[in-house]
Structure 1
Amino acid sequence: MLQFTVPTKADVSANNQAIFDNLNKGLGFVPNLYATLAYSNTALEAYLQFQSAPTSFSKKEKEAINLVVSQVNGCQYCQAAHTALGKMNGFNDEQILELRKGIASWDSKTDALVRLAKEVTEKKGNLSGDALQSFFDAGYTKAHLIDLVLLIADKIVMNYVHNITQVPIDFPEAPVL
C-alpha cells in the first residue's frame, strides 16, 4: 500500500506555510490531518474556511455530529480528535461513547440530532422519514437540516482523507466501541 507521510512546513507552499503558522499559534501544533490537506496548494485553506463557517448549531451540537459521523465512517483519527474536542465542549466519556453509537439517552433533542446524523450518513441521505420527523419534533428547523448536511459533508471530507492516507493519529486514541 502507498505510504503517506505528513508534510512538514518545509514541504508545503508559502500559503500553506502561513496557515501552519496560524494553526501553531491557535492550537499549539498542526494536526497531522490538516497538514495532510497541505499536499494541495488550496485544500487546507478552503477546508478551514468551510469548517469555520457559521452554522445554526452550537459547538457542542457540532461535536455530537462529528462524533457519530466519524464513527459511521470508521475514521479513527476523527474519533480521537472529536473525543478530545467533545470533552472540551462538556461531554463526559459515557456520553461520547453513546454519541458515537448515534444515541444520547440523557437528552431527547441531542438524541434526535445524532440519530438523524447517523441515518443521513449511513444511508447517504436516503431517509426512512422517522428520524427526520423526530428531528423536527425535537425543535429543529429546515435551516438546521441544511446545516446538518453541510456538517456531515465537512466531516466526511476528513474521514475519507484519513481513511485513505492513514497518517498517524496525534490525539489520544478514542476507545474502541
Structure 2
Amino acid sequence: MSRLPLIQPDTATGRAAELLGDVQQALGVTPNMTKAMANSPAVLAGYLGLSGALGGGALDAATRERIALLVAQENGCDYCLSAHSYIGANIAELAADDISDSRRGASSNPKTQAVLTFAAAVVRSRGEVTEVELKAARAAGLTDGEIVEVVAGVALNVFTNYLNKVVDTDIDWPIVRAHTH
C-alpha cells in the first residue's frame, strides 16, 4: 500500500485535476506514479515537462526506454522496472532480449551500447564520470547534445525511482522485480 495518498483523477481539484486529465488523455490510463506526484502539482508538471521535452530530443523512444530500464535496475525500483518493461515492449516495441539486455546495460547496437555504457557510468558515479568515460562516449559517436540528453534521462529516471521507492507506490503494471547485483 502506497505510503502517500494517490490522488484520484475523479476527486482531484485545480491544477492536479488538470494535469491528471492530461496524463489520462495522453496515455489512456493514469499511472499510480502520476497520482503520487499529484500531491504536488508543481512536481507533476515538472516531470511531465521534462519527460515531454526529452520526447522531442535526439534520443528516440526506444533508447529512452533502455536508459529507464538500466536506471531502474541500478536503483532497484520495481515500480519503474515494471512500468518501463511494459512500455518498452508495448510502446517502444523492444524485444524481450532488448529489455533484458538494457537492464544489464548491454546492446548489440554499437551506438545504443555507448548510450547505455555512458548512462551506467552517470548513474553509478552519481554524475562524476571520468574524462575517459566522456571521451569514450564521444568516440562511439554520441554528440554533445546526446550526452546531455543521456544525463537528463538518467536524472529523470533517478527522480522517478526515488519517488516510487519513498512512496512505495502500488505497482499498476505487470510486475517485474529488480534483481540484486
Scaled by the length of structure 1, the TM-score of the pair is 0.90
1:167 matched to 2:169:
yes
Q: What is the deviation of 1:161?
A: 0.4
Cα distance in 2 between the residues matched to 1:140 and 1:13: 43
- The answer for the alignment partner of 2:150 in structure 1 is 148
- The answer for the alignment partner of 2:93 in structure 1 is 90
Aligned ranges 1:12-27 → 2 under 5 Å: 12-27=12-27
Cα distance in 2 between the residues matched to 1:120 and 1:165: 24
- The answer for the alignment partner of 2:105 in structure 1 is 102
- The answer for the alignment partner of 1:31 in structure 2 is 31
RMSD: 1.8
- The 4+ residue runs of structure 1 with deviation greater than 6 A are none
Partner of 2:36, secondary structure, is: helix
Q: Which residue identity is paired with 2:95?
A: N
User: Which whole-Å deviations, capped at 9, do the CAs of 1:78-121 have from their partners, x for residues lacking one?
Assistant: 111111111121211111111011111x2111111111101110
Change (3 A) 1:25 1:60: same
1:55 matched to 2:57:
yes
1:137 matched to 2:144:
no
- Alignment check: 8 A CA contact 1:12 1:39 kept: no
Percent identical pairs in the alignment equals 25
Cα distance in 2 between the residues matched to 1:52 and 1:20: 15
Aligned residues: 175
- Alignment check: 8 A CA contact 1:57 1:144 kept: yes
- The answer for the alignment partner of 1:114 in structure 2 is 116
Q: Which residue identity is paired with 1:68?
A: L
Partner of 1:159, secondary structure, is: helix
